[in-house]
Amino acid sequence: MAADAGEGPRIYRVPVNGGAPEQLTEQASSTAQWSPDGQTILYDDRTTGGSFFPIRGIRLDKTPVKMPDFTNHGDWESFRFTPDGNVVFLQGDFRYQNFWLANLTTGEKRQLTKLKPGYSVRGFDISPDGKEILYDRVQENSDIVLIDLRR
């Protein structure tokens, strides 16, 4: 979980049976995801500023995990572990995002979808067997209306 103890958000491990939380990251970080084997945590590195944040990995002993390059866009959770320990992530420009798969062992990345532009994916999840992605797509439209209240 990410918490702010006065120096910006950091990733903490909190024992559910009681005990003191353990801070795992030193840099500003958020959006933590546990690996299926419980040994690795991915998070976005908030030290870069802007709206694209590099994804980093850390083991429970606080050693960094070598990661392929990909980013998290804004405050949306744009990456998830698959049951076999790889990662599905969103990549692309605003309203033109596609799903990609990153193999954390080899560093290989491959595109999974070619979605129609004009929509934003705000959240998604992976099925327990890792064969399907459930996601939402939002298309924002606005109409400008003038209401004249004069009598």
| Burial of 79: CB neighbours in 10 Å, binned 0-12, 13-18, 19+ | buried
CATH, residue 103: 2.120.10.30
Residue 142 pLDDT exceeds 70 = no
Confidence label for 2 from pLDDT (cuts 50, 70 and 90): confident
Q: Is residue 46 part of a domain?
A: yes
Q: For 12-62, how does the pLDDT look when each residue is reduced to its tens digit (9 = 90+)?
A: 999 999 999 999 998 888 888 999 999 999 988 888 777 778 888 999 999
Q: Which domain holds residue 42?
A: 2-135
How many domains does the chain contain in total? Answer: 1
Structural domain includes residue 145:
no
- Asked if residue 125 belongs to a domain, the reply is yes
Q: pTM for the whole thing?
A: 0.79
Residues 99 and 90 sit within 8 Å (Cβ to Cβ): yes
In a domain, 146, yes or no: no
Whether 103 is covered by a domain: the verdict is yes
Q: Are 51 and 73 in contact (CB under 8 A)?
A: yes
Residue 65 one-letter amino acid:
V
Choose the most confident range, by mean pLDDT, from 60-69, 74-83, 137-146: 60-69
Q: Over 60: is that where the pLDDT of 89 sits? A: yes
